[in-house]
Structure 1
Amino acid sequence: MSIQAVIFDIGNVLIEWQPERLYDKVIGEERRKQMFAEVDLHGMNDGVDRGENWLEAVEATAAKYPQWHDEIMMWHSRWVEMASPAIDHSVRLLRALRAAGVPVFALTNFGIQTFELGEREYPFLEEFDRRYVSGHMGVIKPEARIYEMVEQDCGIAPSGLLFTDDRVDNIKAADARGWQTHLFTDPQGWADRLVSEGLLSETEAA
């Protein structure tokens, strides 16, 4: 089946998501490694991505680890610095696809409150034809249910979906459902794939 819609992950595809980079800058790499060894911050974030209240989750974790309280609270107070900058070439590809009449969806692990903040910081997040945000869905990638929910909502057969994500586990889960996939490593590689599929010209994908 030809591609009926293109689906973008957001973190590290359209917006860089590098919490460790910010912590390295603020507290140094050695202390950051120690903190991440003691505190499952990404696990905490998974809860937020499932729909838990962002501030409450961060505050609860900070209270549990008082030795890292101030650093953990940065996950809330300095989140925008962790989720930056935008990946401009990927944003251009999103807009080029829509200009070419190709339906473009987002499928992202993102909290309810963090996505609201992301929209304010990055208005292009409002430009998708459909948006599948895990916090509102109550399930995260790479669980099969989230992909099933996308299929049910959009009504497109799995083989008609082309999905890009930077995480191998998320790609494998989509592969298992019969989606067409692209492991995102850089925007040029994604641009080349869109050209090879006949969705964009080389000029449009620049």
Structure 2
Amino acid sequence: MPEPVRHVVFDIGKVLIHYDPDIPFSRIIPDDEARRFFFENVCTHEWNLEQDRGRAWADAEAEAIARHPDHTDEIRAFRKHWHEMVPHAYDGSVVELRALLAAGHDVTMLTNFASDTFREAQQRFAFLNESRGVTVSAEVGLIKPDRAIYDRHAEAFGLDPAATLFIDDSMPNVRGAREAGWQAVHFTDSGTLHRDLVENGLL
């Protein structure tokens, strides 16, 4: 039997807030094939992940422009229009987060996020300031699903890994948490999250 859960850790992107680069880029690069090429070859997921690891946007833009100078304007548009990529919160998930807090549970957050965009998100979404604290990947130079970021978060916030429940939309990140000795659930929607929290005796 797993230990009773005493700590809950939320991922943020696609768990508490929506993220979709296609929102601005469907306007910036209207052609579907050209846009697909851009995301697969220019501003790729791996390229963006380096900002989550702590790389400065200016350095990221310079690197991408050196590879694809013909896409200079579109590359610079990525950071410029980032705010459009996170248009709204997942209200159902926020209800669950606030229900846990209201019930007195220990809640923190662990996110792969660039530092400046995370601070911007905190200004826009009040609930990102309501937990006991957050580990932002770019600010510690570590990234999920690497084991080190889970260990650092647990140490920083005094969590017992075996009594910690992690919530993330990414299965590699869920597996990373389990490998670090945490309990973890895969987020798909707020209804499933509610059931997971009830099954763990939290709500």
Same fold (TM over 0.5): yes
Shift of 1:38: 2.1
Q: Check the 8 A contact 2:23/2:84 in 1, yes or no.
A: no
The CA deviation string for residues 125-176 of structure 1, in whole angstroms up to 9 with x for no partner, is 1111121110111010000100110121222221110001011100111111
Q: Check the 8 A contact 1:62/1:70 in 2, yes or no.
A: no
Give the aligned partner of residue 46 of structure 1.
Answer: 49
Q: Check the 8 A contact 1:54/1:113 in 2, yes or no.
A: no
Residue identity in the other structure for 2:40: A
Tell me, in whole angstroms, the C-alpha distance in 1 between the residues paired with 2:100 and 2:87: 23
* TM-score, normalisation: structure 1: 0.90
Total equivalences in the alignment: 200
Shift of 1:21: 4.0
Tell me, in whole angstroms, the C-alpha distance in 1 between the residues paired with 2:7 and 2:155: 14
Structure 1 residues 62 and 117: CA distance shift in structure 2, 3 A: farther
- Helix, strand or coil: the match of 2:184? strand
Give the aligned partner of residue 203 of structure 1.
Answer: none
Give the aligned partner of residue 15 of structure 1.
Answer: 17
Consecutive aligned runs of 4 or more in structure 1 exceeding 6 Å deviation: none
Give the aligned partner of residue 4 of structure 2.
Answer: 2
- Helix, strand or coil: the match of 2:113? coil
Verify: 1:61 aligned to 2:64, yes or no: yes
Residue identity in the other structure for 2:120: L
Unaligned runs of 5+ in 2: none
Tell me, in whole angstroms, the C-alpha distance in 2 between the residues paired with 1:185 and 1:21: 21
Shift of 1:13: 0.2
Give the aligned partner of residue 190 of structure 1.
Answer: 193
Tell me, in whole angstroms, the C-alpha distance in 1 between the residues paired with 2:40 and 2:60: 18
Give the aligned partner of residue 154 of structure 1.
Answer: 157
Shift of 1:56: 3.7
Shift of 1:78: 0.7
Residue identity in the other structure for 2:7: A
* TM-score, normalisation: structure 2: 0.92
Sequence identity (%): 38
Tell me, in whole angstroms, the C-alpha distance in 1 between the residues paired with 2:167 and 2:138: 20
Structure 1 residues 55 and 116: CA distance shift in structure 2, 3 A: farther
Verify: 1:164 aligned to 2:167, yes or no: yes
Give the aligned partner of residue 129 of structure 2.
Answer: 126
Give the aligned partner of residue 180 of structure 2.
Answer: 177
Give the aligned partner of residue 73 of structure 2.
Answer: 70
Q: How big is the alpha-carbon RMSD for the aligned residues of Structure 1 and Structure 2?
A: 1.6
Unaligned runs of 5+ in 1: 201-206
Q: Check the 8 A contact 2:28/2:74 in 1, yes or no.
A: no
Q: Check the 8 A contact 2:109/2:135 in 1, yes or no.
A: yes
Tell me, in whole angstroms, the C-alpha distance in 2 between the residues paired with 1:21 and 1:63: 25
Verify: 1:83 aligned to 2:86, yes or no: yes
Of 118-127 and 2-11, more deviation after overlay is shown by 118-127
